[in-house]
Amino acid sequence: MKKLLIIYVLVSPFVINAQSHYPGQHADKFTVPDQLKPAVYSFDLKDIKLLNSRFRDNMVREQQWLLRISTQSLLHSFYTNAGMYDANEGGYDEIKKYAGWESLDCELRGHSTGHILSGLALMYAATGDEVYKLKGDTIIAALAAVQQTLNQDGYLSAFPQEFINRNIRGEKVWAPWYTLHKILAGILDQYLYCSNRQALSVAKGFSAWAFKKLQLLTQQQRAVMLRNEFGGINETFYNLYAITGNRNDQWLGDFFYDNRMLDPLKNGIDNLKGTHANTYIPKLLGVMRDYEIENKAGQDTITKFFWQTVVDHHSFATGSNSDREHFFEPDAISQHLTGYTGESCNVYNMLKLTRHLYIHSGDVKYADYYEKALFNHILGQQDPATGMIAYFLPMLPGAHKVYSTPDSSFWCCVGTGFENHAKYGEGIYYHTNDALFINLFIPSTLNWEEKKFKLIQQTKFPENGNMSFTVDEAPVSPITINIRYPSWVKADVEISINGKSLKIKQPPGSYIAINRSWKKDDRIELRYPMQLHIVPANDNPSIAAIAYGPVILAGEMGTGSFSGREPYSDPTKHNDYITYNYTVPGNIDTTFTLDAKKIDNYIQPLQGRPLTFKIVNENIIVKPLYDVHHERYVVYWRLKK
């Protein structure tokens, strides 16, 4: 393989745009503007900088892993598929081959390249550091060469087209369109966040191939093909249509509308039971993008019903869902406390969907859920010791988190992990023309360049509910600062500006709105009292999780019968993640007496250890689930009165 050297002219990718859902994109990159007017707009990722916190620590570890990954190893399956290795140069044998879901015998090979392209683009947007852009440029140049060498009407993949043909014929194959979605999404992110025009050219070529191939299918062939998992490729084709204005791209988005799964939602039917959750959720992301672009009546009803159904009837206290990757019957949480609950990809996609719904409405309930799932699932799925990622968040009492390996796993949740920890900034702040909305309490700075307004958020949340917001640069005109007043706050709130107390009229589950002409160094100080409470299973009130404010606490259960760091028993076996044996010791007892109305008598804080408590009569230590690593734990307890 010959090395390619491509020089790019850097164009700033950080112009605020009308396409409100995608920080870091140019407004002028979109030919087709959204017809739906959002209630609030997001900021560009470059406008938010994380300060020291657990979130920033996760982000730094993710940066290190992104840069450690060998580009040659990542791309070897693409080159192999295109026959681009020169045996005389010995290049093929010299390159380390990645294992797990990127091995040459895995039918999902190539999906991680797409996720990594997205992760690199997001990191560049968030940090402005050229190293992420340059690595992305290198991968895009290589993929363009693969696409050209394949010479198959624009087809690009690490596997042959025969996988697609098998899918069309209804033969067994592991989700080829799912993999192609990840690749295409990563390529588009390189264009949208990094202004890489070669990426757009590659994406257009890929779309031309897809249109040529799929327009020939009968409705029966289409129905058979759509029964296989295809990720959110409908969303990506709609995004491409918004960029190009090419009606063929829109046709492709429409082509992947799954009537069988989505039409029942129009009639308020919960048809989730038994469906593969990470197959289902991304379908709604495509519906959302079509709705935003075309403003078609009724599509928001489908998505709102789906979201509410998942959150109210199919989710654990952590905001996560599914058992063995599948939705189960509604209101049956206590019957599914297994070692394979809470697939991380599902939460990634639910947060994306939540973000769309919040931008449409400005409804604080979406921000409340976003906080729950981000703090209780996403934050704790990265191993602080290694930076590796957990596939599941087990609810099985006595289970433990099991992490990926640097070069032998590459599960789907590893892929979404490359994105999760790069984009923490996108959920903290939103705005309208004359108002700021603060949704998440994460130490950070905001630069609202359009308004000449800078804000510093300082907090140790959720260690405590104290936070401050300092104006670092004051806007010329008055601005309303809206601070989320979470639903979990039960006691009186204290708030002051420059030391002067304010009276709060709003109830929990709303926003505290402060309108004034701001001056530099104005300081808002806020205290949200945090309390212990229980979160009962939705089918059995005697089985419950323990929470402190929004944070789910887990009981420490030691490290008996496991080393604490082993991967699933054989990561080269592509489905072995679903058969892992947790070998839970038989002496783990999850039953204790508790009066929920007097919970402070039963569970008490440990002095000198923030967010750490003791179940008094049981001598059990509980702490945030996101801080439990390399040890067994319990989330749901059997409570006696």
What would the pLDDT profile of 486-506 be if each residue is shown by its tens digit? 999 988 899 999 999 999 989
Q: Is 514 left (phi over 0), alpha (psi -120 to 50) or beta?
A: beta
- Does the pLDDT of residue 91 top 80, yes or no? no
Q: Are residues 13 and 80 in the same domain?
A: yes
Check whether residue 135 and residue 110 sit in a common domain.
yes
Is the same domain home to 446 and 594? no
Mean pLDDT along residues 83-93: 63
Taking 50 as the threshold, does the pLDDT of residue 213 lie above it? yes
Domain termination site, one of 480, 508, 527: 527
> Average pLDDT of 55-70?
97
* Domain annotation covers residue 615: yes
Pair (101, 164) in one structural domain: yes
Report the alpha-carbon distance of residue 233 to residue 223 in Å, rounded.
16
User: Tokens 């696409």 sit at which residue?
Assistant: 147
Does the residue 420 lie in any domain? Answer: no
Q: Residues 6 or more apart from 165 whose CB is under 8 A from it?
A: none
Query: What is the rounded (10 degree) CA torsion for 301, 232, 14, 459?
Result: 70
Burial grade of 130 (CB within 10 A; 0-12, 13-18, 19 or more): exposed
Residues 223-243 pLDDT 10s: 999 999 999 999 999 999 999
Whether 79 is in a domain gets the answer: yes
DSSP secondary structure string for all residues of 183-216 = HHHHHHHHHHHH--HHHHHHHHHHHHHHHHHHTT
CATH number at residue 479: 2.60.40.1180
Examine the domain organization and report whether 224 and 85 are in the same domain: yes
Q: Are residues 142 and 118 in the same domain?
A: yes
Q: What is the predicted pLDDT for the residue at 587?
A: 86
The answer to the question of residue 473 being in a domain is yes
Range of the domain at 173: 1-30+69-229
pLDDT, residue 580, reads: 74
* Residue 241, domain member (yes or no): no
One domain, residues 584 and 514: no
E strands within 40-111? 41-42, 48-50
Residues 224 and 126 in one domain: yes
Output the pLDDT for position 166. 97
As for how many domains the chain has, the answer is 3
447 in a domain, yes or no?
A: yes
Cβ within 8 Å of residue 172, ≥6 positions away: 166
**φ, ψ of residue 469 in degrees (nearest 5):** -130, 115
Average pLDDT on 456-483 reads 96
Mean pLDDT value of segment 498-515: 94
Does residue 79 sit in the same domain as residue 136?
yes
In this structure, is residue 115 part of a structural domain?
Answer: yes
Q: Do 444 and 574 fall within a single domain? A: no
Answer yes or no: do 97 and 161 share one domain: yes
Condensed to tens digits (0 to 9), the pLDDT of residues 130-168 reads 999 999 999 999 999 999 999 999 999 999 999 999 999
Q: Is 284 exposed, middle or buried (0-12, 13-18, 19+ CB in 10 A)?
A: buried
Q: Is the model's pLDDT at 543 over the cut of 70? A: yes
β-pairing, 48-50 with 444-448?
antiparallel
Phi and psi angles of residue 593, each rounded to the nearest 5 degrees, phi first: -85, 135
Inside any domain, residue 494? yes
Residue that is last in its domain, among 213, 229, 245:
229
Q: Supply the pLDDT for residue 570.
A: 53
Query: Cα(499)–Cα(175) distance, rounded to whole angstroms?
Result: 58
| Tokens read off for 347 | 């939460």
Domain end residue (candidates: 527, 553, 569)? 527
pTM of the model: 0.94
Residue 620 is given by DSSP the state: E
**Mean pLDDT (the chain, rounded):** 91
| 636 and 587 in a common domain | yes
